[in-house]
Amino acid sequence: MRACRPGKAGRLALLAAGLGLLSACGLFASLDPAPGPVAIGPADSLAGLEAKAARVVPSERQLRWQALEFQAFIHFGMNTFTDREWGEGTEDPELFNPTDFSADQWVEAVKAAGIRGLIVTAKHHDGFCLWPSRFTKHSVKSSPWRGGKGDVVGEVAAACRKGGLAFGVYLSPWDRHEPTYGDSPKYNEHFKSQLRELLTQYGEISEVWFDGACGEGPNGKKQVYDWPGYFALIRELQPDAVISIMGPDARWIGNEAGVTRESEWSVIPVVGQDDAPSETNPGGIAGLDAQAPDLGSMARIAEVAKRGGRLLWYPGQVDVSIRPGWFYHAAEDDRVKPLDQLLDIYYTSVGGNAQLLLNIPPDKRGRIHENDVRRLKELGDRLRATFAVNLAADGSSEWSGKGAKDAGPDPAGPGSGDDREIAGTYGFDRPKLFNVAMIRENIRFGQRVEAFALDAWDGKDWREIARGTTVGYQKLLRFPTVETDRVRLRILKARGQVSPILPPAGFGLFMDPSRLSLPAR
């Protein structure tokens, strides 16, 4: 996390590298709880469970990951050249031969959208490696590309460093080419050897992305993955790397449509003590159904507590493709998602307490297609135009309610209703037009807000213009254009006392000029 900057409550600083907004300090910085799992069990009262849930906080690596907000997923490999989504592992390496490969073009295209990180498919299910692995011939070293001397992973890592993007790798545990797959001990050693290559040869790795695909090996036996061994190796070699999606740091949102839940919690209860994922339930660690409609409500926490388990900080990632497929298909050149659909995905993911991972597949040239490049720039231009000026930055704020000033000795202790139903009023020197609002909790103190509402002063009374449930890292709200010189944020319900997260770590009002409509008089 970057250092906090002084200023009026609600003042925001634009991140130099992109479109998002820098989290401000918040209060009571000395009360930073320690990250890590919190045990829950049948003996816990509902008030005790609420207090425990309020204490759960992210690790430093999770904080850095959340601040990325928007990343690119790059599916590129053998399937690009066979026009398939899943390969068989029997493809001839001679097929891999991009004619105009440019990792710099990838980085330039995704940065135009405001993207801050890139994850490349170093090896998909067909087992073809985009780096010259010493542990298989089924890689770029056996292809005609660059005379067998090429290294896609190396070129992309270098381009990301030059372009200021975080760099991550996807490595498929399922390998349909490797002969040892299905002989669990042998294949696990093979997989860890390839993982070690990726973690030691390409500089800093920000994220290691695993999915849960698992099939039978050529010997008819199902592979049993050594997840604890994989995790331990990553922690040893790249301790700052986030492990997702089949991993302990970030979870799958539960769909590939770009949709988040209305209440997206980062504080998640899980049954038992085992972090190892289950292939029968892809998208998270054992004991979690990543597709369940309710992952973190107090009712869900109480249900898990009856069986015994843990509360974890386990934020969601939204993976969705800019096209119907994950790999490039020429037949989909005219099916790039419309700008309005991408904006909807952005506001519900980046603006819904999740991280957006947008897949952008390069074509057979090894370049991102012109249609995708055009749409990425349109998206970035629209977001830049919207978030260029925080209209609330020069306002003054005043908070009312007991909880706004009285933290008490325990910032996570349960409070009375008066402690939680508090309001902050933001006033301006002159009326302002806006149609987007941003609210952030200081998640260093956990995720606490369960319900809130935003009001505008109409000259005679307060008029509610938006409301929501969870906030977390960030909530973005869109509504018809409002003109007012005062807005009020009401915290309707929260876990524990909310003093440590007030004023909000970020508050902003913005104008999307493409949605401008004058307010009714």
For 48, half-sphere exposure in the C-beta direction (CA atoms, 13 angstrom radius) is 9
Q: Express each pLDDT in 254-297 by its tens digit.
A: 999 999 999 999 999 998 877 778 666 666 776 788 899 999 99
Residue 291 backbone class (left: φ over 0; alpha: ψ -120 to 50; beta: rest): alpha
Tokens, residue 408: 């008490």
Are 36 and 28 spatial neighbours (Cβ–Cβ below 8 Å)? no
- Residue 411, classified by CB atoms within 10 Å of its CB into exposed (0-12), middle (13-18) or buried (19+), is buried
The whole-number pLDDT of residue 443 equals 95
Q: Which amino acid is at 256?
A: E
* CA pair distance 449, 24, nearest whole angstrom: 17
Nearest to 1 by CA among 69, 61, 88, 87: 61
CA 449 remoteness from chain centre: 19
CA 410 remoteness from chain centre: 30
The whole-number pLDDT of residue 306 equals 96
* CA pair distance 429, 489, nearest whole angstrom: 18
Using the 8-state DSSP alphabet, how is residue 139 labeled? B
Are 383 and 478 spatial neighbours (Cβ–Cβ below 8 Å)? no
- Residue 80, classified by CB atoms within 10 Å of its CB into exposed (0-12), middle (13-18) or buried (19+), is buried
CA 13 remoteness from chain centre: 21
The whole-number pLDDT of residue 2 equals 27
Using the 8-state DSSP alphabet, how is residue 35 labeled? P
The whole-number pLDDT of residue 385 equals 97
The whole-number pLDDT of residue 439 equals 97
Q: Is 95 helix (H, G, I), strand (E, B) or coil?
A: helix
The segments of the chain whose pLDDT lies below 50 read: 1-32, 403-420, 521
* CA pair distance 189, 196, nearest whole angstrom: 10
Cis peptide before 362 (omega within 30 of 0): no
Q: Which amino acid is at 519?
A: P
The whole-number pLDDT of residue 272 equals 80
The whole-number pLDDT of residue 442 equals 93
The radius of gyration of the chain's CA atoms, rounded to the nearest angstrom, is 24
Q: Which amino acid is at 90?
A: T
Other CB atoms within a 10 A radius of the CB of residue 53 amount to 25
CA 224 remoteness from chain centre: 28
Q: What's the chain's average pLDDT? A: 88
Nearest to 128 by CA among 109, 107, 110, 152: 152
Domains of the chain plus CATH, in order, are: 69-257+317-387 (3.20.20.80), 389-514 (2.60.120.260)
The whole-number pLDDT of residue 269 equals 95
Global pTM?
Answer: 0.90
The whole-number pLDDT of residue 221 equals 76
Tokens, residue 273: 């003590």
Tokens, residue 183: 């002989």
The whole-number pLDDT of residue 213 equals 77
